[in-house]
Chains A and B, each alone.
Chain A
Amino acid sequence: MVGTVSVAFSVNGRDVKAKVEPRTLLVTFLRENLGLTGTHVGCDTSQCGACCVLLDGRSVKSCTILAVQADGASVTTIEGLGTPEKLHPMQIAFNENHGLQCGFCTPGMIMSAVDFAQGNAEPTPDQVREWLEGNICRCTGYHNIVASVEAGARAMAKA
């Protein structure tokens, strides 16, 4: 008999407790239960990275994780990075380097980039391109995204 299970985790520093069906994806829970619609669903098949969030500090694809698997963990979404008044350095870098066009891939790009920048203060363009293997953009041609990530990584190291 299939019922619901209790989950408790922290989302953007806030404690969240809920009962969910085991088949609920983390991205569905974030968007539909918590209203955090900054995390996008592009492909729903683990390819595009629009759904990237940080799970205990590491980037993961929230369309390929069950909400119950995040039990006890700490989740950061794009909404938890900065505020409109005080953007995160990586958000500023995407803004300044024109690292987006339609913006659909951007939340995932930024979450992935923040994870990457944690260990790479001075990345080369090749390292950035290799890291972004799991993030697909259909607009920009990537050039400005790569420039954004390089600038954001340097800014994060200084911040």
Chain B
Amino acid sequence: MNQPRPATRSRRLARWVDDRLGTAYLATKALRKVFPDHWSFMLGELSLYSFVILVVTGVYLTFFFDPSQAESTYRGSYEAMRGVEMTAAYRSALELSFDVRAGLVMRQIHHWAALLFVATMAVHMARVFFTGAFRRPREINWMVGVTLLILAVFNGFAGYSLLDDQLSGTGLRIGYSIALSVPLVGTWLVSLLFGGEFPGPDIIERLYVIHILLVPAVIAALIGVHMAILLRQKHTQFAGPGRAEGNVVGERVWPTYAAKGLGLFFLTTAVLAALGGLAQINPIWIYGPFDPAEVSAASQPDWYMGWLDGAMRLIPPWEVRAFGYEVPNPFFPGAVLPGVTFALLYLWPFLEARFTGDRSEHHLLDRPRDRPVRTAMGVATIAFYGVLFLAGGGDVLSTTFGVSVNAVFQAFRVLLFVLPAASAWVAYRLCRDLAQRDPAPADDGSVAMTALAGVAEDGRDQDDRAGHDGPEAQGQAVGKHH
């Protein structure tokens, strides 16, 4: 009667793995972590889930996509392209859209997921920025995040450049002229990537390897680093009753937070499936195969490249000579602007620490209203890039509203500086008023001492920040067997 319960098969398997790898220690440690509960802390997960969907749908696409610039003729079921000469890359993308089972919905989900991958990253980044979560000791994770953003934008561009339709060719031509415009190394850069004069014989095959292997692998690895640093440093939290610099109050990862995460994953999948099934994206059969002789005026890149495109359209036709070299015009919007943008993003935590003189550790978040200067600068930045993005669609706006393109671009040149300034001023005033009406709650220092109890005053789960995860967690961690 007193026999131990027979171990189930899965338990035995788990123990077998654990005996050899000691995984239970790590797993329990991670699962027992307390994750603070504020809705905005789940935004980063949206990007993670979009990436998962990107990989799954992307793998499906690789089964059918042929990244080759060889001459080829379409003979599939889309009548308006039958018999037309094109590259194998474009032909296989057409076949994916019309002749491969579930090919089109996979393509569309993949592309929508790419748009949402970058968009949710931007939202997540805004959360981190406006709450000051990038401050010491989290500067490294902030920089990992900026790298992920750059990689995602670049991989999206590489992705839609593969299909060799008129839009991708137009985008690549701009990419080519930007690369070529870089002083000194431009020509070398271009021959490395394109293998010769535009369009070049090798570009699609090279981009393909970059797009499906290189960049996704680096992204996956960096997501791992991002999460590992997060686990190690523990999540920040907002100040409030029972919450202090020295503790983390919220829910344990297992089971509560994991269930929420799984639910969010399903919802992300549902939204992407709905978009992919109901809304057409990148209808390459309308754009036609890329023909270098054709220049279509009204072609836009995906939104996350739109700000660069807008800058290319707004820049006055400056000619600059430096050290005897002619610096080509695309260099400023195409290379200097993103260079400065990402350099400022990388450096922001350090710049801010320098300006405020605040170099201490922070685990409690700021309310945006309590940091009016930072908030105003963030709002101004969003306005600046928002105007650039809209300028990228200037000619679409001009036709839609029946205004002359030149007037639209002149207006955008003014807005580019006026709107950020105005919105910064409004944001600053709002912060001031809000903070006055509702002063910030202080660090609840009184509770820090109770951290080891594992339960916060309001009955929530709690960890301390000294590296201990509460008594149960320790107990489990020591005992390797159940």
A, B assembled together: no
Q: Give A residues with C-beta under 8 Å from B.
A: none
Q: Give B residues with C-beta under 8 Å from A.
A: none
